[in-house]
Structure formats: C-alpha cells, structure tokens
Amino acid sequence: MLFVGCGPGAADLLTLRAVRALAAADIVVWSPSLIAAEVVREHVRPGTEILAWPPAALPDVLDAFDRARDRGLVVVRLKGGDPMLFGAMEPELGAARDRGLDVEIVPGVSALGAAAAALGWEIARPGTPLLVGDAVEAPGGEVGVTALFMAGGGPGAAAAGLRQRGMRPDASCAVAIHVSRADEILVTCRLDELTEHVEDLGRGGHTLVLVRAKPAGETAASGSAPTD
C-alpha cells in the first residue's frame, strides 16, 4: 500500500519513485483535481484499476484496501503535492495500518516549492527560519516566507491574520493557483491588496498565498506573473 505524492499537477513533476509506484499498482485511487487522467494511464500497466475519487467515496477506497489485504494487491493512493503536507492522510492511513497492510509514503513536489520556483522567491536563505503558516523574524530582522494554504476560503481573515503577525501593508504577496499546470494563475501584490486579489481569484483549497517582508529597496510588484 503506497500513499504517493503526485506533485502540484504538471506531468513532468512526478518523481521517479512515484512513476515506479504507478507501474507496480493493481489499483490506483485518483482524483481529477490532482493530475490529468492521461498522465496516470501513461504510467500504469494495462488492466490496472483506476478508482476515481469522486465519484468513489471512502467506503469504496476501504473496499480497495480490503481487496489488497485479501488478494495481495498493490494499491496506490495518489495525493496532491506532498502527502504529509495538507494531504488529509487520515482516516485512510489508519485504515490501511489497521488492516495490516505494509504502508509506504512516497514524498512529492509540494505546491509551496513549485510556487516559489515560479516566482523566483527563495523560500528561506541559510540562517533564515521558515515556519509554514506563520511569520518568524530572523536575527538581523529578515522575515522568512509565510505560506498560507487553502487561503481562498477566507481571504479577509487571511490578510487580517498576517497583519496581526506583524506583516507590513507593503509586504510582497503572491496568490498561486494550480501552479505548474496549463491553467496556472500566479499574481503578485502588496499585503494591503491581498484580500481583493484572493476574492477575485481564490478557489478554496487550491489557493496558496505566499508572503514575505519587503526587503530594503524593493517595491512589491502588482499584476500577473508570466504563466508559460
């Protein structure tokens, strides 16, 4: 039983280990929100069962786990980005272990890393702390990048929380949606413009916001970054 990170969505950001896992699978539990179906089909063997979630629900996934236990099948459960970073691993991870299945977790490229690469923002320099979801001031006053996952559900609250953590109104922000995919959206703005941009662009769980303090001499850009 493998929980496999399939990256932020681009076909060529699948890791070699993820590709090997798909090639060995008897059953793949997959969601169209994660990666294109043709990418999965490219790497699986003929006859591999692809269980789409949705319309499949948790009982269908648990039935696949039961068949894996009873018949010695290999199940691959695809997770977006990296499974251990907002992968919603429970209750499936616990269910697999309760059934006595040998579990392997295959890490993947996170949306955070993909967004930072697309922006050209170094997440944290040596000696600069990084705390996902909060702002931390490093020695010398430099602030590491703050990452807010699933920011589309409460754009006003997200911006207010950042201000409460001491972020300045002119802090550099980026709204990243479907990073690395053909429909990627990547927009930069100031913190005091963030709520408006997230309200216009935000898509709930697919919305990632990155924020960094404005380094001396830098003016935060506003507008769309190249997406090709």
CATH classification of the domain holding 56: 3.40.1010.10
Q: Do residue 98 and residue 151 come from a single domain?
A: no
**Count of domains observed in the chain:** 2
Mean pLDDT of 175-198: 90
Alpha-carbon distance of 166 to 121, in angstroms, equals: 20
**pLDDT score recorded for residue 214:** 53
In tens, the pLDDT along 116-159 reads 899 988 876 665 555 554 444 444 455 567 788 877 777 788 78
**pLDDT score recorded for residue 126:** 66
C-alpha Rg value of the chain to the nearest Å: 20
CATH classification of the domain holding 127: 3.30.950.10
Helix axes 155-164, 194-201, angle to 10 degrees: 150
Angle 51-52-54 (CA atoms, 0-180°, nearest 5)? 135
Residue that wins the pLDDT comparison between 197 and 204: 197
Three-state secondary structure call for residue 28: strand
Alpha-carbon distance of 180 to 228, in angstroms, equals: 9
Which of 106, 135, 167 terminates a domain? The answer is 106
- Please name the amino acid found at residue 49: E
Among 44, 59, 46, residue whose Cα is nearest residue 2: 44
Contacts of 72 (CB under 8 A, 6+ apart): none
Query: What is the residue range of 102's domain?
Result: 2-106
In tens, the pLDDT along 2-48 reads 999 999 999 999 999 999 999 999 999 999 999 999 999 999 999 99
| Alpha helices for the chain (secondary structure H) | 16-24, 37-43, 58-71, 92-98, 111-119, 155-164, 194-201
**pLDDT score recorded for residue 16:** 97
pTM of the model: 0.74
Contact 78, 105 (CB under 8 A): no
Mean pLDDT of 153-168: 80
Among 151, 149, 126, residue whose Cα is nearest residue 139: 126
Q: Do residue 76 and residue 117 come from a single domain?
A: no
Which of 85, 106, 127 terminates a domain? The answer is 106
Q: Do residue 191 and residue 121 come from a single domain?
A: yes
Percent pLDDT > 90 in the chain is 53
Mean of the per-residue pLDDT values of the chain: 84
Mean pLDDT of 175-188: 90
